[in-house]
Amino acid sequence: MNNITKNHIKDKLFSATGIFSTLIGLILLAVFIGDIIVEGAGRINWDFITGLPSRKAEKAGIYTAMIGTVWVLVLTTIISFPIGVSAGIYLEEYAKKGRLSRLLEVNISNLAGVPSIIYGLLGLEIFVRILGFGNSLLAGSMTLSLLILPIIIVATRESIKAVPQSIRDASFAMGATKWQTIQYQVLPASFGGILTGIILALSRAVGEAAPLIVVGALAYVPFVPSSPMSEFSVLPIQIFNWISRPQHEFLVNAAAAIIILLIITFIMNGIAMYLRSRWQKKIKW
Amino acid sequence: MKRTRETVIEKFLLSSALITILTTVGIISVLAFEAVKFFREVSIIDFFTDTQWTPLFTKKHFGILPLLSGTFLTSAIAIAFALPIGLSIAIYLSEYAPKRFREFIKPALELLAAVPTVVYGFFALTVVTPFLQKIIPGMSGFNSLSAGLVMGIMIIPIISSLSEDALRAVPNSLREAAYGMGSTRFQTAIKVAVPAASSGIVVSVILAISRAIGETMIVAIAAGQQPRLTLNPLVPVETLTAYIVQVSLGDVPHNSLEYRTIFAAGITLFVFTFALNNISHWIKNKYREKYE
């Protein structure tokens, strides 16, 4: 066998390795999800969704955890959306290239790499103790907001960057001020991308358990939270609690709750991907 | 009137951006503040040399080494699993795959990173561990091998997607030169494209390591809660992150020494991830625009 054939065989071999590697992760994920569905789908019924937590596995439901997740989602959106988008607009449209903007940029990319549990420690000390919010929805949502701010800021900047300068020039030429240009031209043109980023960031927040455990979200909450100051639980923490118990019935509950959580996560990701592709197709400068 | 409005808006936007600086300052000062109080009661030499971590027992030891070894063991397993697969994916997608396949598969791979980590923890505990126990008899129900492998699946997309970006940034003229010399795709990929993209690939691996070190729920669920200084992947261990979760779940009074241990563990974790992130940043800046 000469060198040329050998090299071609190597080439083909790698091609096969590449396809195998690409599919192995997805196959494993499919196996996992299949296993979860087999395990948990039978447990999902109306009582499970509207049931309160219980020490008996067959009676326990996810109602309080699910409402907690909805609360967290809404509060986190209200807090992180205006701050994240504003910061993104500032960095892209106002910041002059200099020390401050470099510092802000390096800092944001660093924050994106800080483990989520560290944000939990920050929230525990600042929001729970110093500001005195206690183990409340508000403290948890503020913590998650800080966690996803870097994602929202980066997404906002990327979408604003994609708006061509000529649009801004045209607006300025009509006598518009800087903010009018941003408000009436730049933001509408980049809104699809910003929205995509925010949904992806929120889907990350929905799945987070660690920082919320640290700020004191509870595993057992027998009541539905009524205000931002209520104590709370969320789906991932309920799942974690059920996984930690030795009895098999609780693992079934965990699998069922995971199905609900995955449906929420995948729907959010699906919407984000749909928006991204639609937005990319629609706008042609 | 118009001008004041413009100034007010700009100030508001700036203050939003400054919140990110406040966050960093907050993280560092909170960790430092509680850690200083911790080290007033525990000698820093014991912290780094004692081989036991038992702050919750009556006979207390405060050696961070067992938590560090647990963290590094699980992360090393994850990287050892994810690196060859992630890199193969990156090379395949950038050098071999047809465009249509790539466009379809990339979002699918990103799904791997979108799955909540508590779900991965469930997989590790209820699927991977029982499976491995059949192959390796005597393996404990909680162990770093299964947690590490599942964590590896989670970080595949970090390596594959960032490395692929780096590979695709390599100018085609280099590949064409290699093809012109009679190279196969594989030779072009390994001898030309990968070395040219090496800084980007290294960055992707560093970010993956940093992500693995900070990962919490998978190890808290599947690796156990027994701090022990070992490199045996078959026995229960505890990571820095899992310890913080364990204490947070319990009823530890504020302002106690036990409460401060989670900040001591937190600052150790933060120092490592912060260093890794800055190294990756430095590499990225140093080697950027090499071909422009």
pLDDT lower than 70: segments of chain B: 288-292
Pair B74, A240: CB distance under 8 Å: no
Which among B20, B106, B277 is the top mutation candidate for probing chain A, defined by the most A β-carbons within 10 Å of its own β-carbon? B20
| Cβ-defined contact of B273 to A114 (cutoff 8 Å) | yes
What pTM was computed for the model? 0.93
| CB < 8 Å to B126, chain A | 35, 39, 251
Residues A33 and A141 both lie in one domain: no
* Owner of token pair 């420690």: A121
Pair A105, A90: CB distance under 8 Å: no
Q: What's the half-sphere exposure (Cβ side, CA atoms, 13 Å) at A78?
A: 11
CA distances from B163 to B148, B186, B205, B274, B288 (A): 21, 16, 8, 21, 14
Residues A37 and A51 both lie in one domain: no
Burial, B243: exposed, middle or buried (Cβ in 10 Å; 0-12, 13-18, 19+)? buried
Residues A146 and A278 both lie in one domain: yes
Which among B5, B6, B11, B27 is the top mutation candidate for probing chain A, defined by the most A β-carbons within 10 Å of its own β-carbon? B27
| Cβ-defined contact of B122 to A36 (cutoff 8 Å) | yes
For residue B186, give the nearest of A10, A150, A236 by CB distance: A10
Give the pLDDT score at A254.
94
| Cβ-defined contact of A209 to B116 (cutoff 8 Å) | yes
Identify the CATH class of B65-287: mainly alpha
Q: Does the beta carbon of B255 lie under 8 angstroms from any beta carbon of chain A?
A: no
Residues A80 and A179 both lie in one domain: yes
Q: Does the beta carbon of B85 lie under 8 angstroms from any beta carbon of chain A?
A: yes
What length does chain B have?
A: 292
Q: What is the CATH number of the domain that holds A200?
A: 1.10.3720.10
Residues A106 and A210 both lie in one domain: yes
Give the pLDDT score at B138.
86
What is the rounded CA–CA span in Å between residue A139 and residue A123?
Answer: 7
Q: What is the CA radius of gyration of chain A?
A: 23
Total structural domains within chain A: 2
Residues A80 and A22 both lie in one domain: no
Residues A146 and A20 both lie in one domain: no
Amino acid, res. A96? K
Give the pLDDT score at A284.
60
For residue B20, give the nearest of A21, A111, A210 by CB distance: A111
Looking at chain A, which residue has its C-alpha nearest residue B95? A15
Tell me how crowded residue A117 is: count the other CB atoms within 10 A of its CB. 30
The closest of B47, B44, B88 to B66, measured between CA atoms, is: B47
| CB < 8 Å to B86, chain A | 21
**Minimal Cα–Cα distance from A55 to chain B, Å?**
17
Instruction: Please report, in angstroms and rounded to a whole number, the separation of the first and last CA atoms in chain B.
Output: 46
Residues A9 and A98 both lie in one domain: no
| Cβ-defined contact of B93 to A239 (cutoff 8 Å) | no
| Cβ-defined contact of A87 to B19 (cutoff 8 Å) | yes
Backbone angles phi, psi at A136, to 5 degrees: -100, 165
Tell me how crowded residue B269 is: count the other CB atoms within 10 A of its CB. 27
Q: Which ipTM did the prediction report?
A: 0.92
Q: What is the CA radius of gyration of chain B?
A: 23
**Minimal Cα–Cα distance from B217 to chain A, Å?**
6
Residues A236 and A251 both lie in one domain: yes
pLDDT digits (tens, 9 = 90+) for B129-175: 999 999 998 899 999 999 999 999 999 999 999 999 999 999 999 99
The boundaries of the domain holding residue A7 are: 3-43
Q: Does the beta carbon of B10 lie under 8 angstroms from any beta carbon of chain A?
A: yes
Domain ranges of chain B: 2-41, 65-287
| CB < 8 Å to A271, chain B | none
Give the pLDDT score at B269.
96
pLDDT lower than 50: segments of chain A: none
| Cβ-defined contact of A119 to B27 (cutoff 8 Å) | yes
